[in-house]
Amino acid sequence: MKPLEWTSMLDRFTRRGTRALALVGLSLLLALPTTASAQQDRLARLREAYSVEAMARIESIVTQARQAGVPIGPIYNKALEGAAKGVPADLVVAALSEFAGRMGRARELLGPTAQAPWVVAGADALSRGVAPELVASLGRDAADRAPIALLMIGDLVEAGIPADRALEVLREALASTRGEDALRDVPATIRRLVRQGARPQDAARDVLNAIRRGTPLRRLHHRPPRLDLLTHRPRPVPPGSRPARDARRTESQRAVVGGVPRTGDAAPTSRRRPPGVR
């Protein structure tokens, strides 16, 4: 595999792991076995999938993550995902190291008491370009809805919406909606409008206005502006009709009879002489 292909594959695998959070919910990705036997079963599956050398590197990453207070369950999940998809071990190890590093950064931003869903969602937001200070503020302000809020802000920023407008949309959605499904509809609707041809900023504006009016987001559709408004050209005139300005001009012209203008009209600059007069 060429270096560029390796880099592309690593990027896809690294960024895909927590993307599922926004689609299937935090509970599915973070559902971890609680019994010792279940944990041993996971480790056994990993040892079957990876070589001794690769497994030693994975366990080293897990040990460092545990010491830093980072949840280790998502690391195991990502390792199992890589094995199931046939990703080369070197790429898996590199992705796990990057993933654990982002979770460590999210842990610093969100505080030592942040639970695993907060940390994983914060790492996902960082991977999609959300500013660290915004991750920290959402962790403080969104309370128990912080994980879904972090996932949403990551979706909006990655869609090309400026951070200030993305935060405005997010806060309005948090104040006006209840339930994770309703919140996930917000970035999903923006992505749908963008696919229909809307600019991300315009899509965000339309969604924000719909939330404020209480309009169901499923009713939103992108409506391209009329071409005549974009080009500043007059709209076509139906056959048999004429603009009012042309009608007034024709009426004024008819008022001039025999070279004498109608009262109130300007005098013509020249007059035709009668026949035989020089």
- Choose among 210, 228, 235: nearest CA to 220: 210
CA dist., res. 3 & res. 5, Å (int)? 5
Question: How far, rounded to the nearest angstrom, does the alpha carbon of residue 277 sit from its chain's CA centroid?
Answer: 83
pTM above 0.85, yes or no: no
CA-to-CA dists, residue 50 to 3, 9, 17, 71, 74, angstroms: 22, 18, 19, 21, 17
User: DSSP 3-state assignment of 257?
Assistant: strand
What length is written for the chain? Answer: 278
Each residue's pLDDT tens digit, 36-46: 666 677 888 99
Q: Greater confidence, 267 or 140?
A: 140
According to the model, what pLDDT value does residue 243 have? 52
- What is residue 238's predicted lDDT score, i.e. its pLDDT? 59
d(CA 229, CA 50): 62
pLDDT, one tens digit per residue, over 184-203 is: 899 999 999 999 999 999 99
Mapping DSSP to helix (H, G, I), strand (E, B) and coil, where does residue 260 land?
strand
**Greatest pairwise CA separation for the chain in angstroms:** 124
Any bridge partners for residue 260, and if so which?
257
Better pLDDT: 207 or 4: 207
Stretch among 79-88, 92-101, 227-236 having the lowest mean pLDDT: 227-236
Task: Indicate if the pLDDT at residue 165 is higher than 50.
Answer: yes
What is the per-residue pLDDT across 102-126, written as a single tens digit (0 to 9) for each? 999 999 999 988 888 899 999 999 9
C-alpha dihedral sign at 20, 25, 28, 32: positive
The reported pLDDT for the residue numbered 142 is 84
User: In the structure, what pLDDT confidence band is assigned to residue 178 with cuts at 50, 70 and 90?
Assistant: confident
Question: What whole-number distance in Å separates Cα of residue 7 and Cα of residue 11?
Answer: 6
CB of 92 closer than 8 Å to CB of 83: yes
Q: How far apart are CA 215 and CA 175, in angstroms?
A: 15
Pick the residue with more confidence: 61 or 181? 61
Q: Which residue has the higher pLDDT, 79 or 255?
A: 79
Residue 187: strand, helix, or coil: helix
Token digits of residue 251? 């009426």
Task: Look at 6-10, 212-216, 245-249 and tell me which has the smallest mean pLDDT.
Answer: 6-10
